[in-house]
Amino acid sequence: MERKLSKASRSLTSSAIQELSHLAQRCGAINLAEGFPDFPAPPHIKRAAVAAINADLNQYRHVQGICDQLAVMMKQNHGLDVNALTDFVICCGQSEAFAATILATIDQGDEVLLFDPAYETYESCIILAGGIPVNVPLEPPHWTLNVDKFMKSFTSRTKAVVLNSPHNPTGKVFSKEELEAIAAACCQMDCLAITDEVYEYITFDLQKHISLASLPKMQERTIITSSLSKTFSVTGWRIGWACAPTTIASAIKNIHVRITDSAPSPFQEAALAALQSPPGYFKSLKAEYEARRDFVIQMLSDVGFQISFKPQGSAFVFAELPKNWLVSDIEFVKVLIEKAGVAAVPGCGFFHGDIDDQNLRTRYVRFAFCKGSDTLNAAARKLQDIVGSTGHLQL
């Protein structure tokens, strides 16, 4: 079937994307595109990893202490009673936890509901397992859940709902009411819920991250996936986990063991140190990210963006291009790289299903603010440099 894709469609899409990437590299652009930090990881965690390597903890390992600590945190943060011995699977990042979960639960023809816009890998994983992704659009400008549309997306083949909150790319944190609606639907339809909570500790303005599993009757049908990466600025260490009811966790583990067998052992040891960080660590993490968020929103507003939706969590601003900027997101990013030397991500890549106004697909740009102050200051200066007499970006 793939041979029937026209050469034109294939070549058109790839060259536009590749061009942006090469362009950013050629121009040495300041990178507000990638979702990983350019500031160092916390020293106490790096020390723990170094100590583990020196202590010869370098063979295949499962560090039960991680599960014990996670169980404590599940109880503290979400009121969940989880069995540390049977309900966790330590994986190579949330990426692998999610892949293993999908392979453990999704059969050929199973439908999986996703909220759009979405991190692209969910859909690919589902298809890899023979499942069918079904996209439920969140409604701009505030990316609200349309419960009616959501309910109508269920069929007799719906196996699971994937929920990413705090949300990439919009920065939305699903509200209690929205979670209740999702929970009600999952219970009524007897579906699984698979969550991606990697930004769980990065929420703003007193927003609390609520885990879907903590809602009534949800724990028995929810698989939580998360990782160290964003919370501890160690995206390259590949330590993540899945937390699920025992039979499901066991199934996920059986898949994980055949995919990678185990997560890197020294970093498992360091994970223990990380997860045992004092409350002050998590407080500063939030405060620092909130300051970065505020800075970037100001930076964008100063050059003409009207940010109608302030991110409530995650490390991203999903900025809508002002109505009078008649360029597409890709064109905008290209100009930004060329003229201002700042890279961002065109939003169209995150939209999979229908959104009400098709034009909106190409009207969003995602900026990452998981960056040090030098980077952010430099980006702000560069953007200011190309502001015209209107006070807005000259495009």
Partner 1 sequence: MLLPSVINASPSATCETMLLRSSPSSSAFRYAARRISAVRMAATSTASEEKGASSVEKEQRNQLPSNPPPLQVAKRLEKFKTTIFTQMSMLAIKHGAINLGQGFPNFDGPEFVKEAAIQAIKEGKNQYARGYGVPELNSAIAARFKKDTGLEVDPEKEVTVTSGCTEAIAATMLGLINPGDEVIIFAPFYDSYEATLSMAGAKIKSITLHPPDFAVPVDELKSAITKDTRAIMINTPHNPTGKMFSREELELIASLCIENDVLVFTDEVYDKLAFEAEHICMASLPGMYERTVTMNSIGKTFSLTGWKIGWAIAPPHLTWGFRQAHSFLTFATSTPMQWAASVALKAPDTYFEELKRDYLMKKEILVEGLKAAGFIVYPSSGTYFVVVDHTPFGYENDVAFCEYLIREVGVVAIPTSVFYLDPEEGKNLVRFTFCKDEDTLRAAVKRMKERLHKR
- Residues 124-143, mask of contacts with partner 1 (x by CB under 8 A): xx-xxxx-xxxx--------
Cα separation, 101 vs 249, in Å, equals 8
Q: Which is nearer to partner 1, 28 or 79 (CB)?
A: 28
Q: Does 96 bind partner 1 (CB under 8 A)?
A: yes
Q: Does 287 bind partner 1 (CB under 8 A)?
A: no
Cα separation, 127 vs 104, in Å, equals 13
Could you say which residues in the range 191-210 bind partner 1, by CB under 8 A?
191-192
- Cα–Cα distances (Å) from 61 to 82, 188, 261, 266, 348, in that order, read 22, 40, 9, 9, 41
Q: Does 144 bind partner 1 (CB under 8 A)?
A: no
**The amino acid at 276:** Q
Q: Which is nearer to partner 1, 164 or 203 (CB)?
A: 164
Could you say which residues in the range 362-391 bind partner 1, by CB under 8 A?
368
Binding residue for partner 1, selected from 70, 115, 123, 289, defined by CB under 8 A: 123
Instruction: Give the strand pairing for 240-243 and 345-346.
Output: unpaired
Binding residue for partner 1, selected from 86, 353, 378, 384, defined by CB under 8 A: 353
- Closest approach, Cβ 74 to partner 1, in A, equals 21
* Cis peptide, bond prior to residue 42, ω within 30 of zero: no
Cα separation, 209 vs 175, in Å, equals 9
Q: Does 304 bind partner 1 (CB under 8 A)?
A: no
- Closest approach, Cβ 103 to partner 1, in A, equals 7
Q: Does 217 bind partner 1 (CB under 8 A)?
A: no
Cα separation, 180 vs 158, in Å, equals 19
- Cα–Cα distances (Å) from 174 to 145, 227, 277, 379, in that order, read 9, 19, 26, 30
Could you say which residues in the range 14-33 bind partner 1, by CB under 8 A?
14-18, 20-21, 24-25, 31, 33
Could you say which residues in the range 320-349 bind partner 1, by CB under 8 A?
330, 333, 343, 345-346, 348-349
